[in-house]
Chain A
Amino acid sequence: MLTLTLKEPVERVPLEAEALGPDTVAALDHSAICALPVYLGKKQCRIDDFFTVDGEASDELELRGDLRKVRWIGRGMTRGHINIVGNAGMHLGAYMQGGAIEVSGSASDWVGGEMSGGLIRIAGNAGGQIGAAYRGSRRGMSDGTIVVGGSAGLEIGMRMKRGLIVIGGPVRDFAGLEMKGGTIILRSGAELRTGAWMSRGTIISLAPIPLLPSFLPSSRYVPSFLRVVAQHLRRLGTSVPDDPAAGTYTRYLGDAAVIGKGEILVWSAA
C-alpha cells in the first residue's frame, strides 16, 4: 500500500491532483511517484512538494490529511482502492470506471461526476452535483454506486442514466433533476424540487418531501423490487425499509412536464 500524507493544509489556491489514482501510481517506483505533477493554480509542482510518500506502490492508495482543497482525486480510475483519512475536494472519482474510494471525513461538489462504474463511499457530508452531468452534458453517471453517510447539496444525481446513489442525511434542492434512470435513495429526505423534470428512474425518500405539482400520486404499497434494493443496500452497510408491517410507500409518477416515466416513492411508517 502507498500512503501519502499531506504535509500542510492547502488553505488558499486549490491543488489539482488527478495523478492521485491507482492506475497512475501502481506501476511507478518511489521517485517517480514523488515527481508526479500536481497543479497549484497555474504552477506545476511535484507530489512530494505537498505529501510525504511512504510504502510500496500498489493498487491500494491511502491519503491522509484535510484534503478539502485537493481536487480530482481518483479521476477516471479503473481499478484499485483509494482510502482517504480526512476530507476530500471537488471532483472526487469523477469519470471513474472501476475500483473503490472511501472517505472518512467529508467530500465536496461533483463526487463521481459522470462516473461509469465503481464504488465511492463517504462517511461524512458531501457537496452538490453527486453523480451528475457536467454542465451541458446529456448524461450524468452511467453506472456505479455512491454512498454518503451525511448530508449532501444541490442537484444530486442530475441527469444520471444508471447506477445507485444513497444519501444518509438531508439533501438540498433538485435531487434527481432531469434523471434518466438509476436509483437515488434519500434516507433523510430533501428540500425542494426533488425529481424535477425527471423522465425515468426511481427516487426513494424515507422522509416526507415537498413535491412539484407535476407529480401525481399513484398507489400506496411496498413494491416488490424494494426487497432487492434492500438486500443490495445491506451489503453496502445501509438499508431501506421493505416490511409492509412497518409502513408503506406512496408512489408518485412524474414529471408530467416532460416524458414523466419516473417515480418517487415516499415512505411513511405504519
Chain B
Amino acid sequence: MGGKVTCTLGEVKNRADFIIYWGGNPAECHPRHFTKYTLTQKGKFVPLGRKGRTMITIDIRETPSARAADIALIIKPGKDFELATTIRALMKGQPVDEARVADIGLPLATIQDLVERMKRAKFGVIFFGMGVSMTRGKHMNSAGLLNIAAEMNAFTKFVCMPMRGHGNVTGADVVLRWTTGYPFGVSLSRGYPRFNPGEFSTIDLLVRGDTDATLVLGADPGATMPQPAIDHLTRTPTIVLDPKVTHTSRIARVHVTTAVTGVSAPGTAYRMDEIPMTLRPGLKSPYPTDEQVINLLLAAVAKKPAWRPAAPEELRGASLVRLASRT
C-alpha cells in the first residue's frame, strides 16, 4: 500500500539535485518556493545552487513554473494516474502498452528517460499540487505519486510531498490528528471520533444536506463549493467567524468579525512540512480573536443540559481499564 516518504524543506534545500513539480505552479502559487527551498539556494551538498539541480515540471499546460524548468512535460488532462502507474511499472522493469501510454500525451521513450533520470538522482523530490490532488482520481492520484517515491527508495533517495493550500490547513490537520486521531472529516456525533471521507467530509455533508447547522471558521465555502452545498448553507443556520465579510457571511445567519491570526492574533502555524512556527502579531485589532469567540460559544453551550453520548456496544459495562484485548 506504499506510504508517505517525505522530509522537511531544509533537506530539499541541502541535498535535492532532482526536483519534479507535478500538477502545481509554485512560481505563482507558492512564490518563495524556488528561492527559499528548492532551486536557487546554495545547499550544503548542492554548492552550485541552480546549476547543481535538474527541475522538471509535469502539467497539462505551460505555466511560469514550466518556463523555469529544465524539462517541461506537458501531458493530456486527466492522465496523472496513468502516468504515475506507468512510472511505477517501468521503474520495476515491467512492460507497458505503448499505445495506451501514448494517450498520456508523452512518448514511452520520454517516460522511460524520466524514470532513468529519477534513478540516477542523488536525492529526488516530487512536489505535487492541486492539479494532481483535485482532478479526477483525487486521493488516488496523490497515492500514485507517493508510491513512486516510496518505491524509488529501492534505487536512490527519494521523497514526495504535497504543496499545501491556504492558511494553516497543515496546522488544522496536525491538531485534529493529535486530538481525534484523524486529519479531517471527523464526526463526533457518537461521542468519540470517527473518520470517513465522503461520509463526513465537508462538501459531501453539505451537498447531501446531512447537517442542521454550520460554523465556518477560516474558510469561504460560499465562494468555492458547488451550488447545492451553498443552498444548504443558506437554508440552515450558518455562523461565520472571519476577519472579512465573505461570500459565506452574506448567506449566513450570523457573522462575527475576528482579528487576523498572525497579524493581530497570536498562535502557531504549521508549515507544509509540518514544522511549527510561532506567529508574532505585529498589530492590534479592535476585534476579538477566533479563540476568544470560540471560548464564548463553549461557555454558552456549557450552560445547556449536558450531552452524554451512549456507549457503543463494545464499551457497554466496561470500565476504563478493562483492556485484555490486543487492540
Contact = CB atoms under 8 A, between A and B. Distances in A.
A and B touch in their complex, CB below 8 angstroms: yes
Interface in B85-103: 85-86, 88-89, 92, 94-97, 100-101, 103
A135 B201 CA distance: 13
A156 interface: no
Contact of A214 (B1, B85, B198, B307): B85
Nearest to B81: A193
Q: Summarize A's interface: helix, strand, loop or mixed.
A: loop
A178 to B, nearest CB: 7
Interface string B186-200: 001111000111110
- What range describes how many residues of B lie at the interface? 35 or more
B136 A192 contact: yes
Contact of A213 (B89, B199, B310): B89
Interface string A228-264: 0000000000000000000000000001111010000
B85 to A, nearest CB: 5
Given A42-B189, A42-B190, A213 B85 contact: yes
Contact of A41 (B82, B96, B212): B212
B81 to A, nearest CB: 6
A257 B94 contact: yes
Contacts of A128: 198
Given A13-B212, A215-B97, A257 B310 contact: no
Contacts of B86: 213-214, 257
A256 B210 contact: no
A37 interface: yes
B100 A256 contact: no
Nearest to A16: B190
B309 interface: yes
B137 interface: yes
B141 to A, nearest CB: 10
A255 B147 CA distance: 14
B140 interface: yes
Interface in A138-153: 138
B95 A177 contact: no
- What range describes how many residues of A lie at the interface? 35 or more
A39 B189 contact: yes
A214 B96 contact: yes
Interface in B135-150: 136-137, 140
B1 A41 contact: no
Nearest to A217: B97
A213 B100 CA distance: 5
B101 A213 contact: yes
A14 interface: yes
Contact of B1 (A138, A174, A211, A217): A138
Given A37-B310, A39-B189, A109-B199, A212 B82 contact: yes
Q: Which of B82, B188, B197 has the most CB of A within 10 A?
A: B82
Given A13-B211, A257-B94, A178 B199 contact: no
Nearest to B104: A213
Contacts of A177: 140
Interface in A11-47: 11-14, 16, 37, 39, 41-42, 44
Interface string B62-99: 00000000000000000001100110110010111100
Interface in B34-82: 81-82
Interface string A143-184: 000000000000000000000000000000110011000000
Contacts of B198: 109, 128-129
A174 B81 CA distance: 11
Contacts of B309: 42, 44
Interface of B: 1, 81-82, 85-86, 88-89, 92, 94-97, 100-101, 103-104, 136-137, 140, 188-191, 195-199, 209-212, 307, 309-310
8 contacts: A12-B209, A16-B190, A41-B189, A193-B137, A193-B140, A212-B85, A214-B97, A256-B94
Interface of A: 11-14, 16, 37, 39, 41-42, 44, 69, 90, 109-110, 128-129, 134-135, 138, 173-174, 177-178, 192-193, 196-197, 211-217, 255-258, 260
Given A214-B86, A214-B94, A214-B96, 19 more contacts: A12-B211, A13-B212, A41-B189, A90-B199, A110-B199, A134-B196, A135-B196, A177-B140, A178-B1, A192-B136, A197-B85, A212-B85, A213-B89, A213-B96, A213-B97, A214-B89, A256-B89, A256-B94, A257-B86
- Per CB-CB distance, the 10 closest pairs between chain A and chain B, nearest first, are A257-B88, A256-B94, A256-B89, A213-B100, A213-B96, A42-B189, A214-B89, A257-B89, A213-B101, A257-B85
